[in-house]
Structure 1
Amino acid sequence: MSELGRFQDAFAAALAERASAPIAAWLPNGEGDGEAEPAGLAVYRNTIAKGCVDALAANFPTVASLVGDDWFRAAAALFVREHPPTSAALLAYGEAFPDWLDRFPPADDLPYLPAMARLDRMWTTALFAPEAQPLAAEAFALAPDALAAARPRLHPSLAFAWFDSGLPGLWLAAREPEPGEMALTDDPQGVLIARPDDMVHGRLLDAAGFAFLTAARDGASLGEAITAAARANPAADLATLFAALIADGAFSGLDLGDLA
């Protein structure tokens, strides 16, 4: 390892340990002998901590808006101390934040908060997912037997989930520029999040749509996925469901197998 590399590793250790000992070899004689954190090192550490807190606020905007800036930044500062970044890029920082909120006592009175964080995380994941061209409706213009046997590949940015209550609706409402009155319903809801082009979008997903996407994710053919959707909701308009998923940019490929 180069001298610069050794110094960078030692400097990171000094910041984490809040002590000058790891970088003693690069300090003037006597300055790195104690265990106390030098004032200059504290400035660097605080600057990094603020950057991490700012990144969390950007990556979890719904959580921040629901709890307020003071609460969020106090919680985020504690999270940062326990989970320092492992990369210089903070664009997607906070993978462990939803689970951390599950164990954070001050959030006990806000049982919906970890789910809001997980939904925010899904949005961020979609934002930085690999690029892929979504399939247009014309790609599905096949003979009925070939279409039923084809296996769709989901777009790499696509994320979806199911909840036992109306948390997705609350989350979507909270992300509006002017949320207005928000209410948490008891009805189960699903959510779909995707970035087929430059923008991430999200919408509610019903039981049939969730069943379809789950089957497709698990390798089912289109015919099998449609059957799963019909079982989940026999009253579902399957043609409309499929058209909506195409409009969402949910598919990036179609494997025709022997029928190609």
Structure 2
Amino acid sequence: MTLVEFQTAFWRDLWAEADGRAPPKGPAAQPGFAVYRNTVLKGCAEALVSLYPAVHRLVGDDWMRAVALDAARAAPPAGGDLQHYGAHFPAFLDQALAGGDWPWLGEVARLDRLWSECHVAADAPVLDLHTIAALDPARLATTRLVPHPAARWRWCADWPAFSLWQAARTAAADPNPPCWHGQGALLTRPAGAVLGLAIDSADCALLEACAAGQTLGEALDAVQARHACFDPGASLGRLLQQGAFAALTEMPS
């Protein structure tokens, strides 16, 4: 057996379900193999606990560690870098909690995931209000706003996911939001630290339109058509102040 073959078999056997009908073969037949299996599984579960701190705080240590073990068994890591492991965890929670008492927990987990993505995203300059203000309205309408590579956003129509997530991340004494309604979240990293902001569905729609490559004029018109109470100036100012954009590009004349 070559080294590559041994490593492949070792990794396969780490995650294989034990079959009591036949004796184990290959690496799994070695004395003490279960120690490796348990160590790797525990390491993956610990990674999920650390990557989803808001979920951990909301559900408690025992429940989190138990469900993290189940999630690790369901989806082993594809590589050795556990910093990026666990993209499956929010959907795993959705399925595990379907019809249960915490239907919003998967959305909180998605914000934990977006925080991690924002934290490790590429650096880039931040587009400021002064640059926008220097352009005349007609010229501004034909430009495209480029979302910052660290910017992440999500709209949750059914739950105040951002308030639940923020209360857990800041260790608030009472994580219960005052109002249970849909809520959006914007995560940015304009100066090295990840910042979070509650935004509405129109703000999310504007970010989506800009990310799709629409000009600012097209994006504002599209959002206005779908959201009657949309305030373009307030929304754009809020997103710019939070560092949601990296640059603007002008369309060729």
TM-score (norm 2): 0.86
Q: Which has the higher contact order (CA 8 A, sep 6+)?
A: 2
Q: What is the aligned counterpart of 2:76 among 76, 81, 84?
A: 84
Runs of 4+ in structure 1 deviating by more than 6 angstroms, as ranges, are: none
Cα separation, 1, equivalents of 2:56 and 2:31? 31
Whichever of the two has the greater Rg, that structure is 1
Q: In 2, distance between residues paired with 1:235 and 1:103?
A: 35
Cα offset for 1:101? Answer: 1.3
- Structure 1 distance, partners of 2:150, 2:58, is 26
Gaps of 5+ in 1: 24-35
Contact in 2 for aligned 1:216/1:225 (Cα 8 Å): yes
**Contact 1:166–1:184, Cα closer than 8 Å, also in 2:** no
After superposition, the CA RMSD in angstroms is: 2.4
Asked whether the 8 Å contact 2:107–2:156 carries over to 1, the reply is: no
Unpaired segments ≥5 residues, structure 2: none
Aligned partner of 1:218: which letter? A
Instruction: Provide the secondary structure at the position in 1 that maps to 2:64.
Output: helix
Moved more, 118-127 or 11-20: 11-20
- Please tell me whether residue 109 in structure 1 is matched to residue 101 in structure 2: yes
Residues 162, 78 of structure 1: alpha-carbon distance in 2 compared, 3 angstrom cutoff: same
Note if contact 2:77-2:85 (Cα within 8 Å) is conserved in structure 1.
Answer: yes
SS of residue matched to 1:142: coil
- Are the counterparts in 1 of residues 91 and 106 from structure 2 also a CA contact under 8 Å? yes
Distance in 2 between residues matched to 1:105 and 1:166, nearest whole Å = 17
1:188 maps to 2:182: yes
- Alpha-carbon distance between aligned partners in 2 of 1:191 and 1:110, rounded to the nearest angstrom: 19
Match of 1:75 among 67, 70, 77: 67
Q: Which residue of 2 aligns with 1:171?
A: 165
Q: 1:22 aligns with which of 21, 26, 40?
A: 26
* Contact 1:167-1:184 at 8 Å conserved across structures: no
1:85: Cα distance to partner?
0.8
- TM-score of the superposed pair, with normalisation by structure 1: 0.84
After TM superposition, the structure 1 = structure 2 runs for residues 239-250 of structure 1, keeping only pairs within 5 Å, are: 239-250=233-244
Give the secondary structure class of the aligned counterpart of 1:91.
helix
